[in-house]
Each structure stands twice: as structure tokens, then as C-alpha cells.
Amino acid sequence: MIDDNEADIDLVREYMQDIADQSIVTGAHMGHAGLDLVRSDPGHWDCVFIDYMLPDISGLEILEELCGPHEVMPPLIMLTGQRDEMVTISAMRCGAFDYIPKNSLNRSLLEETLQRVRSRQALRDSLERERRLRVEAERALRKQELDSARLEAIRAAVSTSVHEISNPLTGIIGMLQLLLEEKPEHDDYTIMLNAAVRIRELVVRLVNIDHVSYNTVRLDGPEDVLPEQRGGQGTLISGALLMDLSEKQ
């Protein structure tokens, strides 16, 4: 409470004790001292009572100082020694939450004012929670969009790589098969052919990755290699890899 009259501070303190026995009223007798006190920790104060007439500055000047465009302050309540409509209008324009003439101040009026303060604070808290949820939702959406863009880039790279590998790999397998038909006794050709077939199996995995969502499908299910079909002299004709792409729970 910013007021140079100690009796008024004591009266408000007495009313506050009746309304809420755990309440604490801190007094400042000068306007600038009150300004410094409020600004030092705005969130500490549930509300601030400001006397209209102070020795150094007026209550309206305090309101103007505390209600700047970037200031977040507790509810500011103007107190004055007499009822004056012009003062009321000026106080409200300067950002006062409420206006109480001192000659009308009593326990009931103060309690009603504090109830409005609590309602306003509840609304402010609700709006702040809504703002935070909106910010979090927007951040999550941006992250999802970035993840989708990265996934598409990965898919494009995989698709390109698959085509670049598949074409020469088909030729290599065919050439090795021809070589084995001519010289089936060469174990090196068999080893190379088996390696090429294994590479083709890995390419099959890449193709599958390119066509499924990495969010829902994992390529860690059981896999089976079908029996190879061989022609004359053991020449490999075909082979295949079966993979379980069912969604993992």
C-alpha cells in the first residue's frame, strides 16, 4: 500500500486480517519508494493500493509509471480522500483496476474489491495457460512439419540410391551366372554371386523402407530366404527374401 498516512495503512491492514488472517500488508509512505517496491518483484504482490495524493508524486503518476505497454503488474487500486468523478475517470484511463474513496472504505467494500481482484487473476491465469498451450501446439506442429520434410528427403535419397544400385547389380548377377555356367568349378564366382544376391536382399529392404512410414513400421520382424532355384550345373536362377512388415505393437 502506497500511502503517506499510517492510519490508513493500519486500517486496511486490520480489514485485511479480518478477510484473510494470513494476509500481509506492506506500506510505503512515498511514491517513488512504492514504485521501487512494486517494480522489484511485481509477481509478489496480489494487489497494490495507491493513494491519490502523495508527498513526492501523485497516484496518477504512479499509475502511468506502472502501466507501461511492456509492464505486467498486479491490480492497481486507487484510494482518494474524497469522491471525485474526474479523478475516477483519470485513474481508470491510467490503468487503475478499481477506485475506492477513503470515506467509503469499509470491510465489506474491501472484500468485494478483493473478490474482483481474484476473479481477474483467475482469468489472467487462464489466458496465460491458453497462450502457453497454443505456443506448445504451434511448436509441435512446426517440428512435425520439419520431421515430415526430413522423411521425404530421406525417401527421395533412398529411392535414388536403390535405382543406382539395382541396375548395375542386375547386370553383375547375370554376368556371374553366365560365368558359373561356363566354369562351375570356380568357387570365387559362387562367393561373389552369393554376395551380390545378399546385396539385392538389402536393396529389397531399402525399397520397403521407401514405401512405409518410419513412425509405425519397424523392419526387425523375422525374415525368411526362400529356397533358391538353380538350373543346370547349379546355376542360380532366382532367389527371394521374405520380410515381416507387420506393425510392431
In a domain, residue 202? The reply is yes
- What sign results for the dihedral spanned by CA atoms 173, 175, 177, 180? negative
Co-location of 18 and 88 in the same domain: yes
Is 56 part of a structural domain of the chain?
A: yes
What is the per-residue pLDDT across 171-213, written as a single tens digit (0 to 9) for each?
888 888 888 888 887 788 888 888 888 888 877 776 665 444 4
237 and 151 part of one domain: yes
> Which alpha helices (DSSP H) does 41-186 contain, by range?
59-66, 85-93, 107-182
Q: Are residues 145 and 57 part of one domain?
A: no
Cell of 154: 530421406
Q: Which run of H or of E encompasses 223?
A: strand 223-225
Let me know whether 32 and 91 are in one domain. yes
CATH number of the domain at 97, please.
3.40.50.2300
For residue 104, what is its C-alpha cell? 467509503
Listed range (3-7, 21-25, 103-107, 192-196) with the worst mean pLDDT: 21-25
Among the candidates 105, 122, 153, a domain finishes at: 105
DSSP 95-134: T-SEEEEGGG--HHHHHHHHHHHHHHHHHHHHHHHHHHHH
| 40-79 confidence digits (pLDDT tens) | 888 888 899 999 999 999 999 999 888 876 667 889 999 9
Pairing of β 76-80 and β 229-230: unpaired
Residue 144 sits in the same domain as residue 239 = yes
- Overall domain count for the chain: 2
Could you tell me the pTM of the whole model?
0.53
Of the residues 85, 105, 125, which one is the last residue of a structural domain? 105
94 and 166, same domain (yes or no): no
- The residue ranking higher by pLDDT, 240 or 62, is 62
Residue numbers of the domain that contains 46:
6-105
Q: Is residue 156 in some structural domain?
A: yes
Query: Is residue 55 in some structural domain?
Result: yes
Q: Looking at the structure, do residues 152 and 69 belong to the same domain, yes or no? A: no
Is 125 within a domain?
no
- Verify that 93 and 162 share a domain, yes or no: no
Asked if residue 87 is part of any domain, the answer here is yes
Name which of 246, 243, 175 is nearest 206 in CA terms. 243
- pLDDT, the chain, mean: 79
Domain boundary among 105, 126, 154: 105
Helix axes 107-182, 187-210, angle to 10 degrees: 150
The answer to whether residue 18 is domain-embedded is yes
Q: What distance in Å separates the CA atoms of residue 80 and residue 86, rounded to the nearest whole number?
A: 12
Do both 101 and 30 map to the same domain?
yes
